[in-house]
Chains A and B, each alone.
Chain A
Amino acid sequence: MADIVFESVERSFKQGGKEFLAVGGIDLTVKDKEFVAIVGPSGCGKTTCMRMVAGLEMPTKGRVLVGGKKIIGPGPDRAVVFQQFALFPWKSVQENIEFGLKSLKMDAAQKKEKTARLITLMGLEGYEQAYPHQLSGGMQQRVAIARAYVLEPEVLLMDEPFGALDAQTRVVMQEELVRLARKNPKTVLFITHAVEEAVYLADRVVVMSRRPGLIRDVIEIKPIREKEGWDQHSRIEDVMDLSSFVQLRSQIWKLLREQNLGAEH
């Protein structure tokens, strides 16, 4: 069981001597093997939420639990795919993917085999010895995903992983992630500001509002997706044309727009 639980989580920062509340009381459960996307305007604290699950930041109040255990720091049971990839520029593709395995007690042959499997899965054959700067953005992102997946984490945290990619590459990566996630489901917390992306990928979409960051609404996608048979379509544009998709997308859009209007008044 690797569920993620936010229990009345607050997080405040000091800015210019003043305390300001970035995340103001979040209660949320991401069930085991569930794919949850958090959408919200920039500055709504969605990245902070992810970082608290990662253990890179600590809640000021409340607690975050993964698999029933309180998070006290970063660790390889939760893999993170960062927006800026964060591949080690001084390590080759192979060395980047192997990095996490090196800390584990496992014989060398097994590590090699796991790395090779991920290289094949992510279509990185022939690039094992290349360095990150020699790769395109899409390829770098594949390496970053492979580096996270190779540890077979139960929890996968993704912070706008496709935000730095061009539109065409992003679509390909989204389709690949759907394939990966449906075939081999993990508990995923996916941060994005792209509504389509959230609806397409997630089982549930959490809409956040800003200042302080609060959960505005939670939209169930999975029952509709399964009923309408989205996954029979392999291309994202075919899914995006379905009326059930359009409806969900505009529902979430409206929620985001309303709070933006609220902020202006």
Chain B
Amino acid sequence: MSQLDRLNPGEYILWTGLGLVSFLGFWYLSVSLGLVPRQFLPAPHEVVLKFIHLVSEPFSGYTLLAHIASSFQRFLYGFILAVAIGVPLGLLMALSKFANQLITPFFESIRFVAPIAWVPFAALWFGTGIGGPVLVIFMGAFPPVLINTYRGAMHVDKKYLEAAKMLGAGRFRLMTEVLFPAAIPSIVAGLRISAGLGWQSLVGAELIVASSGVGYMMVKGQASIQTDIVMSGMIAIGIIGLFIDILLRQAEKLAVNYKEA
């Protein structure tokens, strides 16, 4: 059977279930048979119990939900900042060769620096304040927003720009009423990548420059050799990441509701 043939629902559940069960079984056996020492890897059921426990019982000052809330808030700040700067800047670069030439070298030189590499500066500038994680998230989320806005706006059919110019639209209206709506599908696709990178960078930032949050909780768990707490944090990160992606996927569907004439 090739990849292109679709599985029917029964087969789908069967193979997905089989994969999960064998993974969890392998994990469980390797821990319970003592192949891996307990302090290195907790058993799956212990992680689930710990996860449930952390929801109600504070660890390192907060419950799991409070850690998540604190992480999510930082994520939102960094992400919104990346969108608020990246979208207008991308549109401006598409509209003006000068702006493009001005911004590109600077942008290209920072975009390959991993967001986590900003952590030393985040610590230096903001200590454990909210600014540090926000800076790191911003560095992760900003490049995809800018690139996708720019590309989407560059691909706008020239006839719309010409029509708008003939109708007397100035640069501001070209940006807001032609380039921006034309780029929306590309921008929203960029937001998904950007949110993913931002959310991943956040945990990295919290490992070092925070006193709350999922990343902070994990680092405290590691310090006290409570691997089930570390693993619970990983699960929380995965669930929230998935949740953010689902939200943005809905936004993507809404955004492409107009068709080319």
Q: Which chain A residues have a beta carbon within 8 Å of chain B's beta carbons?
A: 54, 56, 73-76, 78-80, 82, 84-91, 99-100, 102-104, 131-133, 140, 147, 151
Known: A88-B178, A99-B169, A103-B169. A56 touches B162 (CB 8 A): yes
Q: How far is the CA of A78 from the CA of B258 in the complex (A)?
A: 29
Q: Is the CB of B261 within 8 A of A76?
A: no
Cβ contacts under 8 Å, B164 to chain A: 88, 99
Question: In the complex, what distance in Å separates the CA atom of A133 from the CA atom of B261?
Answer: 4
Chain B: interface size category: 20 to 34
Which chain B positions have C-beta within 8 A of A84?
159
Q: Does B163 contact A (CB under 8 A)?
A: yes
B167 touches A103 (CB 8 A): yes
A82–B167 contact, CB under 8 A?
Answer: no
Residues of A within 8 A of B173 (CB): 102-103
A88 to B259 CA separation, bound complex (whole angstroms): 10
For B260, the closest partner residue in chain A by CB is A89
| Complex alpha-carbon distance, A218 and B162, angstroms | 30
Which residues of the other chain, A, contact B178 by a CB distance below 8 angstroms?
Answer: 88
- Cα-based distance from A80 to B181 in the complex (angstroms): 22
The residues of B that contact A151 with a CB separation of less than 8 Å are: 167-168
A202 to B260, CA, bound (A): 32
Contact of B166 among A76, A88, A104, A133 (CB under 8 A): A76
Q: Which residue on B lies nearest to A51, using beta carbons?
A: B162
Say whether, besides A88-B181, A131-B258, A100 and B159 are in contact (CB < 8 Å). Answer: no
List chain B residues, Cβ under 8 A from A54: 162, 166
Write the B146-164 contact mask toward A (1 if CB under 8 angstroms, else 0): 0000000000000110111
Interface centre among B160, B163, B182, B260 (most CB of A within 10 A): B163
Nearest A residue to B157, CB-CB: A86
B34 contacts chain A at the CB level, 8 A cutoff: no
User: Can you list, as one digit per residue, whether each of B232-261 has a CB less than 8 Å from chain A (1) or not (0)?
Assistant: 000000000000000000000000001111
CA distance A80 to B168 in the complex (A): 12
Asked if B169 and A133 sit within 8 Å, CB to CB, the answer is no
Of chain A, the residue at the smallest CB distance from B184 is A90
Query: Sorted from nearest, which 4 A-B pairs have the closest CB atoms?
Result: A76-B168, A100-B167, A132-B261, A90-B181
